[in-house]
A and B are shown apart, each in its own frame.
Chain A
Amino acid sequence: MNPTNRTVVVTGIGATTPLGGDSASTWEGLLAGRSGVKPLEGERFAELPVRIAAPAAVDPESVLPRPLARKLDRSAQLALIAAREAWADAGYTAKAGEDSSIAPERLGTVIASGIGGVHTLLDQYDVLKEKGARRVSPHTVPMLMPNSPSANVGLEVNAQAGVHTPVSACASGAEAIGYAVEMIRTGRADVVVAGGTEAAIHPLPVAAFASMMAMSKNNDEPEKASRPYDKARDGFVLGEGAGVVILESAEHAARRGARVYCEVLGQGLSADSHHIAQPEPTGRGIATALQNLLDNTDLKPSEVVHVNAHATSTPQGDTAEIKALRKVLGDDLDHVAVSATKSMTGHLLGGAGGVETVVTVLALKHRLAPPTINIDELDEDIDADIVRDEPRPLPEGTIAALNNSFGFGGHNVVLALRTI
């Protein structure tokens, strides 16, 4: 078989999110329409214009042994927890090479973060200022480097085919999964642990995003703050967590008798080249990414029944995305259930593409589109069928879903998944 035509499937999923410490509890939270957004307590947040965020529901330091946790930035801790869940969920019981299930040279990791180890960087700067250079941790660089989550997961599973970290702000997690698909498709690897992670709930990133006027300032009603598609949306809410999938060539999955969730058809990519941080208002770049996806895969627009939208709850971004979907899918968008799960999880930046891929895998598995909460009044510019408040059943038969992720810098990534 031509290695460039290899089918890629999802065999495992893992997540730790503002709604739960694993993928099952995250999914339950989404179906229940629960918000993970909370007030930011403590003096160091007290003077900030934004005092809400969606922290990981389960503190990763309560899960990992302390000697391991203290050598990992919080973003890598979350990635490792999600990766362990996904690895076990795929039926792997040992590191690569310890049994015959996968050779280390055929196993890769691609785990991304938008910002990297910002807690480590800033905490160690505090140590430098307050206690001096001698006290700066020797683990600082391996902890703060953005490839640290991918590298640490690679060490955990003994991945030797390649350990990678694409960085594209809030599209990073989706770009990682797309990169992983290509690694398998082109024959570089048979199995790749792929996803995204982020842990940036620290006063500096919060203040910085707030300065950009990118975040909701609805400090009085945290659970109502993230409201994609609502007329009164006023920005995103910063979330924290990780989502990881195990991608595998269909032959490899079949050979070891693995349970298969769905197929990943591929990705559509583009760049806006419009502004470093503003979305292009007509959705031109997003439409290009969608069209590239359709041109480069055998996905038929009529198969698409669900979109996990990027929809971060910013006034411009949510609208541009729907315009692009309408432009490319045309009337086929009428039968697509569009969900904005960031209304519940907040925006996990580089973790978003990972978590939302896990969620999209579960939506196809259960044939259920998760709801979008907090739409009191739907923006009239949103010309699409938004799943509101309650989950909605998806049709029987072969169905496909899209997962959109876009990032500061103008990066657009569209992933397509389809039932087998």
Chain B
Amino acid sequence: MAYTQDEIVKGLAEIVNEIAGIPVEEVKIDKSFTDDLDVDSLSMVEVVVAAEERFDVKIPDEDVKNLKTVGDATDYILKHQG
């Protein structure tokens, strides 16, 4: 099944909350993982792996650097989900 944009943002918010401790309601599409959400490059790998599992999607390493914001990740997952 395909996830909606809202479902993906909500899922990413839960993942970021688990990994970085940021409250779920603060994880919005315009937020930068590094600058706003306390997700450093190592923790970003965790976010990506968790997102891959949750949304049944593959996010190759070379694409991870393009995922600056929650919106970038949401769009990527919307487009590539299986």
Contact = CB atoms under 8 A, between A and B. Distances in A.
A67 B20 contact: yes
A68 B18 CA distance: 11
A134 interface: yes
A134 B64 CA distance: 14
A70 B39 CA distance: 13
A66 B16 CA distance: 12
A65 B21 contact: yes
A139 B47 CA distance: 12
A138 B21 contact: no
Interface string B50-77: 0010000000000000000000000000
Interface in A50-81: 65-68, 70-71
Contacts of B20: 67
A71 B19 CA distance: 9
Interface string B28-57: 000000000010001101100100100000
A66 B46 contact: no
A139 B19 CA distance: 12
A296 interface: no
A139 B43 CA distance: 8
B21 A67 contact: yes
Nearest to B46: A138
Interface in A129-154: 134-135, 137-139, 142
A156 to B, nearest CB: 16
B29 to A, nearest CB: 22
Chain B interface bracket (under 10, 10 to 19, 20 to 34, 35 or more): 10 to 19
Contacts of B45: 138
A138 B40 CA distance: 11
A218 to B, nearest CB: 42
A18 B70 CA distance: 43
Contacts of B52: 134
Contacts of A66: 18, 21
A135 B52 CA distance: 11
B80 to A, nearest CB: 16
Given A139-B42, A142-B42, A134 B49 contact: yes
B3 to A, nearest CB: 20
B60 to A, nearest CB: 11
A67 B49 contact: no
B19 A67 contact: yes
Interface in B6-27: 18-21
Nearest to A142: B42
Contacts of B38: 67
A138 B19 contact: no
B47 to A, nearest CB: 10
Nearest to A139: B42
A137 B21 contact: no
B67 to A, nearest CB: 15
- Please name the 5 residue pairs, one residue from A and one from B, whose CB atoms are nearest each other, closest first: A67-B21, A138-B45, A138-B42, A67-B20, A139-B42
Interface of B: 18-21, 38, 42-43, 45-46, 49, 52
13 contacts: A66-B18, A67-B20, A67-B21, A67-B38, A134-B52, A135-B49, A137-B46, A138-B43, A138-B45, A138-B46, A139-B43, A139-B46, A142-B42
